[in-house]
Amino acid sequence: ARTVHGDEVVVTFGECIVAYLAAKSGGSMRRHLDALTERFGETRVKDMTNKVIHDYALKTLPDVKNSTRNACVIEPIRAVLNHAATLNMIAKPSIPAFDDDSSRVVGASPAWVNEFLTRSENAKLKAFVAFCTTTGARCIDARKLLASDIDYAEGTATLRYTKNGKDRVVQIGPIAPLLRELPVSSDGRVFKWDTTTAVNVALAGECKKLGLEVYSSHQVGRHAFAERMLNAGHTLLEVAEMGGWDDLQVLKRNYGHLEKRRTDAIAREKAAELMRATLRVVK
């Protein structure tokens, strides 16, 4: 069949995963790809219809939100097949996501961040919040940060093997003094937490102690970073570049409303300017 009809007709999902991992290593999607390989590894991509994929997600994840089904099934499959399409292994797929039924997560405001950093006496938490909120780093990437990955002379830090499987260099100049104060753990890590849960527990305790609203590490870091940049007038594309988002659609789904709010305001302002000028001419 491959000889007669070409590779695209018979290429399997497993072949696409091999190509994807060779280029991107899988990142945090790896755990999802293992399950998808078990189910679809020998399945020809042409047989992976939207119904087949959605039925699989509903069967294996029956009691979760659609946002979880999207994160565990739809987005990993899209990433693998989109990469295969760039290699001309298959045609570019169009796999609709489940309707998003998750509540919109709100990031910590600049005022909250400022108050936390001003009032907290916990050096490690202060440095962690400052690092994540100014760089958009994920909690897991901050937890993996080694002292040897920080270049104080250049004012940068390198986040190793991030979610998209790539290293990412971030600017840490303004917060370098906070990082320098921290004792380095025996394994070389800057932030000595073994799990994200441990970070969130510590952060919640400090918030309650200070009488501040409790936010998770993701809310004070990645969410706060994206919202602050978009509210400052940067586009989704610019924020994706600054924050290391590999999939612009993920960023658009979570924060597109902020860009639209700003562009709507600009459209209204420009329309008002035009009408004021037009009315002056008419008079």
pLDDT at position 210, please?
Answer: 96
Mean pLDDT of 193-213: 95
Average pLDDT over residues 252-276: 75
* Res 115 pLDDT > 80: yes
Does residue 283 register a pLDDT over 70? no
Residue 13 has pLDDT above 80, yes or no: yes
Q: What is the model's pTM?
A: 0.64
- pLDDT tier for residue 4 given thresholds of 50, 70 and 90: very low
pLDDT of residue 29 exceeding 50, the answer is: yes
* Residue pair 160/188 in contact by the 8 Å Cβ criterion: no
pLDDT of residue 281: 59
Percent of the chain, pLDDT > 90?
Answer: 58
Mean local confidence (pLDDT), 7-19: 86
Assess whether pLDDT exceeds 60 at residue 2.
no
What's the CA gap between 211 and 256, in Å, rounded?
31
β-strands 168-171, 150-151 pairing: unpaired
* pLDDT for res 224: 93
Each residue's pLDDT tens digit, 34-59 = 999 999 999 999 999 999 999 999 99
Cα distance between residue 37 and residue 21, in whole Å? 12
CA-nearest of 175, 133, 172 to 149 is 172
Residue 204 has pLDDT above 90, yes or no: yes
| Per-residue confidence (pLDDT) for residue 68, from 0 to 100 | 85
pLDDT digits (tens, 9 = 90+) for 125-163: 999 999 999 999 999 999 999 999 999 999 999 999 887
Query: pLDDT at position 280, please?
Result: 65
Average pLDDT over residues 169-197: 92
Distances (CA, A) of 66 to 88, 112, 212, 254: 31, 31, 31, 14
What integer best gives the mean pLDDT of the chain?
87
The angle subtended at Cα 172 by Cα 201 and Cα 250, nearest 5°, is: 65
Predicted pLDDT of residue 276: 79
Strand, coil or helix: what is 137? Answer: coil
| Residue 230 falls in which region: left (phi positive, over 0), alpha (psi -120 to 50) or beta | alpha
Q: Label residue 240 by pLDDT band (50, 70, 90).
A: confident
> Can you tell me the distance from the alpha carbon of 228 to that of 108, in angstroms, rounded to the nearest whole number?
9
More confident position, 183 or 281:
183
pLDDT at 67: 82
